[in-house]
Amino acid sequence: MNQIKVFSPATVSNVACGFDVLGFPIDSIGDEMIVRKTKKKSLVISNVTGYSVPLDIDKNVSTIAAKKMIEQLKPDCGFDFNIKKNIIPGSGIGSSGSSASASVYAINKLLGSPLSEIEMVSYAMKGEVASSITEHADNVAPALMGGLVMVKSISPLEILKLPTPKDLYCFVINPKIEVKTSYSREILPKEVKLKSATKQVSTFGSFVHSLHTEDYELLGRSLNDYLIEKHRKKLIPLFDEIKGIALNNGALGCSISGSGPSVFALTKGIEKANEINLLVSDLYKTSGYDFSTYVSKISENGVRTLSI
Amino acid sequence: MNQIKVFSPATVSNVACGFDVLGFPIDSIGDEMIVRKTKKKSLVISNVTGYSVPLDIDKNVSTIAAKKMIEQLKPDCGFDFNIKKNIIPGSGIGSSGSSASASVYAINKLLGSPLSEIEMVSYAMKGEVASSITEHADNVAPALMGGLVMVKSISPLEILKLPTPKDLYCFVINPKIEVKTSYSREILPKEVKLKSATKQVSTFGSFVHSLHTEDYELLGRSLNDYLIEKHRKKLIPLFDEIKGIALNNGALGCSISGSGPSVFALTKGIEKANEINLLVSDLYKTSGYDFSTYVSKISENGVRTLSI
């Protein structure tokens, strides 16, 4: 195998109760990447289409992650990257995580799959650091593993795959304004009330319990955030209005995706997600902001091979 | 039925990762109580044996909880309480929670069980407030319901019963010094680092996941606390030594029970709990402190009727 074309999904992370801990892939949008072995032992980004990202291999998250991999794996070849960047950077749906996961997955396949899933996650994280300063895995882990994924710890890296209720669907609106992950992190307080921390702990615990018991109502009552949303929602146009529409139309919960500005809602069944999509799109059409929306199952599929 | 004798177990709460959220009953120690209907519509504590607790019905947690119940239920009788107080107050193993749960359970039975489990918990909590100032349910909920119990929220009161792995055993040492719950709460910081809060969230999430998957190793890796232990352990003689012995002898985890000074360790199987019991008891025998220890299954049984 000398060439591979892969699709790497966008991801919703944090998911209300799981700041820095939880994420899942969206099925309907992701970056595509063709990675080709080259004789010359170097990395080259030969082409980028779609949204603009750096061609410099030391600035592009795909190649930053790839560089760490080849430093370790020392393959007898180099790699050429042709990137179709479908996810707008700084959108809050794991744009850099998608690209980093794509390149790690592709190179691993091209080298005969020497890495385990967890090793792939650890390399993809190296790309993430470049865009968000802090090391985190709540985008790359679900992008690589699929399904609802929990980051138990970063050091040592430990990832848990949680059960995904079958009828769980997701609506996402991506307002086309850029919010830098690093800035969105800066506006967070360094300290939080012990009481709020305790609420977040119990809420996340009941969320995990609801997944195992497939209790959609409990899941809905667990999609709350007591730490982050109030700070970050200020960066998002019409956040309260979107959330109001979602909750008034049967969403199990609604909060910020990643570090924003994207907003997601979870629903039981696709119909409610579609309905919320129509209503929120109507609201946004009159707002003057450009935007995209997505409706997706909480997919069990992470990065995948499109063709060899 | 005019009289009932009940046993109400001691409880371990917080359980490392679940500050103010998690608890379970210990099978081998608890308060006993004989409650008798009286013609006169009043509450009387006619007798207390064992550890000393107030006879004044407005100061004893059993009758404080009972008073709230009868204000609401308006029964055509009063109640006489004969309390065998086996759990030392201020021990950190739910002494007041045990008594409050016993009286609520007994009165409910004597009145033909008008209350649901969750209603019983809410009345028993009223007794708890008297001893700890803050309203909390992580002792009374497991005392009344049995098993590993999670307090999802206090207002509205929502309690989840978590699955209890079959081989889960508990060792508890109760150093016989009193630590007032209210003081033990005072020494906690009002604010915690966002990073620590996030760690606690993921750790509790993985704990809940480990219960559902009956993964003892993961359970062990989830019995950590990032918020409370470091502050409260200062009140507990030889805490670090106890924890060292427990972890070096196969405990899944070891932390403070409730607000201390009791310390618990969880093990897979009773043998390790017994071994830790021997070693920690040896350590304490040479320390000069009086103490008791208990080894118990994580029991599915809460308060129960001993005789009618």
* A262-278 pLDDT, tens digit each: 999 999 999 999 999 99
Among B149, B150, B194, the residue to mutate for chain A (most A Cβ within 10 A)? B194
Q: Over chain B, what is the mean pLDDT?
A: 94
Average pLDDT over residues A178-186: 78
Give A147-176 as a DSSP string. Answer: SSEEEEETTTTEEEEPP--TTEEEEEEEES
Q: Is residue A213 predicted with pLDDT exceeding 70?
A: yes
| CA distance linking residue A167 with residue A222, whole number of Å | 17
| CA distance linking residue A59 with residue A46, whole number of Å | 14
| CA distance linking residue A250 with residue A266, whole number of Å | 9
Looking at residue B232, its pLDDT comes to 94
Q: Is residue B131 predicted with pLDDT exceeding 80?
A: no
Is A181 one of the annotated active-site residues of the chain? yes
Average pLDDT over residues B88-92: 91
Q: Over chain A, what is the mean pLDDT?
A: 94
Chain B residues near residue A197 by CB distance under 8 angstroms: 192, 196-197, 200-201, 227
Q: Which residue of A has its CA nearest to B219?
A: A152
Contact A200 B202 (CB under 8 A): no
Q: Please report the domains of chain A, with CATH numbers, ordered by start residue.
A: 3-162+300-307 (3.30.230.10), 168-297 (3.30.70.890)
Q: Is residue B44 predicted with pLDDT exceeding 80?
A: yes
Looking at residue B288, its pLDDT comes to 86
Reported as a single tens digit per residue, the pLDDT across B257-272 is: 999 999 999 999 999 9
A207 touches chain B (CB under 8 A): yes
Looking at residue B132, its pLDDT comes to 62
| CA distance linking residue A264 with residue A248, whole number of Å | 14
Chain A residues near residue B206 by CB distance under 8 angstroms: 150, 152, 158, 160
Q: Which helix (H) or strand (E) holds A123?
A: helix A117-132
Looking at residue A131, its pLDDT comes to 64
How many percent of chain A have pLDDT more than 90? 88
Looking at residue B133, its pLDDT comes to 62
- Partner residue facing A151 (CB), from B150, B202, B208: B202
- Which residues of B, range 117-176, sit inside 8 Å of A by Cβ? 150-153, 158, 160, 162
Looking at residue A136, its pLDDT comes to 84
How many percent of chain B have pLDDT more than 90? 88
Chain B residues near residue A151 by CB distance under 8 angstroms: 202
Looking at residue A260, its pLDDT comes to 93
Chain A residues near residue B201 by CB distance under 8 angstroms: 17-19, 21, 197, 200-201, 204
Model ipTM value: 0.94
- Strand A43-50 vs strand A78-85: parallel, antiparallel, or unpaired? parallel
Q: What is the CA A117 to chain-centroid distance, rounded?
A: 17
